[in-house]
Amino acid sequence: MHYLLFYDVVDDFAARRAPYRREHLAHVAEALERGEIALAGALADPTDGAVIVFRGPSPEPAETFAKSDPYVANGLVTAWRVRKWATVAGDGAIMPSL
């Protein structure tokens, strides 16, 4: 199963993230090494949010990631939410039973 972690961020996110970016990217790299993250990145034009795609049997890794993310801890993320994503096509999609 896939889970999407959505971040809502402060208005000046691109400017304010610099002091925490290295620590945030290390946090992402650790989750990648554990096989939890499939894709991650900030939304662009404007940079007003981010989306991280998690894979696994439950939303717990995505929730744990957000709770310990330097961007969240330092107030750059104003809200976050995890949504179950029923993927049906593309690389890594989890096809439904027919």
Query: How many folded domains does the chain comprise?
Result: 1
Half-sphere exposure of 60 (CA within 13 A, CB side): 3
Q: Is residue 13 part of a domain?
A: yes
* Whether residue 96 has pLDDT greater than 80: no
Q: Is residue 94 part of a domain?
A: no
9-38 confidence digits (pLDDT tens) = 999 999 999 999 999 999 999 999 999 999
- Mean of all residue pLDDT scores within the chain: 94
pLDDT at 63: 98
CATH number of the domain residue 49 falls in: 3.30.70.1060
Half-sphere exposure of 22 (CA within 13 A, CB side): 1
Q: What is the pTM of this model?
A: 0.92
